[in-house]
């Protein structure tokens, strides 16, 4: 039996019972997240007795919320803004990507009562960019922001020989991120800090621009990115990890100038695979159906 959503044939939802495997996404805000739609699509597609729910948790309440979910029998959770660094501090075991980035976006509650932490943002970002036909190797990227996602993306770019410039409204956080990258890898001069009000001086020499902040996100903070794309080289690839709306003001400006654009929806999909596999025991195939489902939902919300 199937249902219809956005013109797509979807598997019928499964009944939730006492043996249903539970996971979710913790964030503040979290209402914008399409992770529940994606994970529940995969659960139905593979006939898995599971459910994935949004979990709005205010800053300062993260530790209590995580321990409560663990005690309630959840398998784990994704973690989004602003809790990724708090997640890093609460776990008992870290994988290499989480250790390098200093942040965690995927929690797995192990049967022995411990918590495992993973960071899939960086490799998910790279997979999405390469799915758009851009080879991520060498060159220079300018990252806007210095939070958990920026840490993960910076680490994955450095792993692929990409020099990284970091700009953040609070310069101290940018310096802390740069120092962390240098300390954990032989990055040397491959990492530097760019003043938030000095992007014009470095943008012409960049191959990629990546917004990792929540500026431009629906329901996010007010303000604009201090970027003048009139100064960008014609070869610049402009990426935004925000996906609500799918085309942010930054990407609209880039597209109007004929620059190659990469939105954040594919990153969401690619980074989700590891958590799904850990919680529900199946490695989902990333096909056009799930992107079409998410895109149709986003377009519906914009009308």
Residue ranges of the annotated binding site are 33-35, 80, 105, 121, 145-149, 168-173, 241, 243, 264, 271
* Candidates 84, 135, 278, 301; catalytic one: 84
The binding site for NADP(+) consists of 145-149, 168-173, 241, 264
106-109 β-sheet, strand order = 50-56, 21-27, 76-79, 106-109, 115-118, 93-94
The answer to whether 52 touches 36, Cβ cutoff 8 Å, is yes
Residue 250 dihedral angles phi and psi, to the nearest 5°: -60, -45
Asked if 84 is an active-site residue, the reply is yes
What values do phi and psi take at 191, rounded to 5? -125, 130
Parallel, antiparallel or unpaired: strands 76-79 and 106-109: antiparallel
Query: What angle in degrees, to the nearest 10, is found between the helix axes of 265-280 and 288-302?
Result: 120
CB atoms within 10 A of CB 44: 17
**Number of neighbours of residue 160 by Cβ within 10 angstroms:** 15
Q: Which element (helix H / strand E) includes 285?
A: none
Cβ 50 vs Cβ 22: under 8 Å: yes
The pair of structure tokens assigned to 83 is 């809790």
Tell which phi-psi region holds residue 281, choosing left (phi > 0), alpha (psi between -120 and 50) or beta.
left
Task: Report CA dihedral (271, 88, 78, 277) to the nearest 10 degrees.
Answer: 60
**What is the distance between the alpha carbons of residues 70 and 52, in angstroms, rounded to a whole number?**
14
Strands 208-211 and 115-118: unpaired
Enumerate the active-site residues: 84
């Amino acid at each position: 039996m199937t249902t219809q959503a956005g013109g797509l044939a979807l598997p019928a939802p499964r009944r939730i019972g006492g043996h249903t495997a539970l996971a979710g996404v913790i964030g503040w805000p979290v209402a914008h997240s399409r992770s529940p739609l994606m994970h529940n699509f995969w659960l139905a597609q593979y006939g898995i007795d599971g459910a994935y729910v949004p979990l709005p948790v205010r800053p300062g309440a993260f530790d209590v919320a995580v321990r409560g979910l663990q005690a309630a029998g959840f398998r784990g959770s994704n973690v989004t803004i602003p809790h990724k660094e708090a997640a890093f501090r609460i776990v008992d075991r870290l994988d290499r990507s989480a250790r390098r980035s200093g942040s965690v976006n995927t929690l797995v509650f192990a049967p022995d009562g411990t918590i495992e932490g993973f960071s899939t943002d960086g490799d998910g970002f790279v997979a999405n960019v390469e799915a758009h036909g851009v080879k991520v190797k060498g060159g220079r990227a300018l990252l806007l922001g210095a939070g958990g996602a920026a840490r993960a993306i910076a680490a994955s770019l450095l792993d692929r020989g990409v020099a990284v410039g970091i700009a953040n409204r609070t310069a101290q956080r940018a310096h802390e991120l740069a120092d962390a990258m240098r300390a954990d890898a032989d990055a040397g001069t491959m990492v530097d800090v760019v003043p938030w009000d000095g992007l014009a001086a470095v943008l012409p020499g960049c191959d990629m621009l990546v917004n990792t902040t929540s500026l431009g996100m629906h329901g996010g903070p007010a303000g604009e990115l201090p970027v003048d794309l009139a100064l960008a080289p014609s070869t610049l690839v402009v990426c935004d990890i925000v996906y609500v709306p799918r085309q942010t003001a930054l990407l609209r400006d880039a597209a109007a100038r004929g620059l190659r654009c990469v939105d954040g929806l594919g990153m969401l999909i690619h980074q989700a695979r590891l958590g799904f596999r850990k919680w529900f025991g199946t490695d989902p195939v990333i096909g056009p159906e799930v992107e079409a489902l998410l895109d149709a939902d986003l377009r519906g919300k914009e009308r």
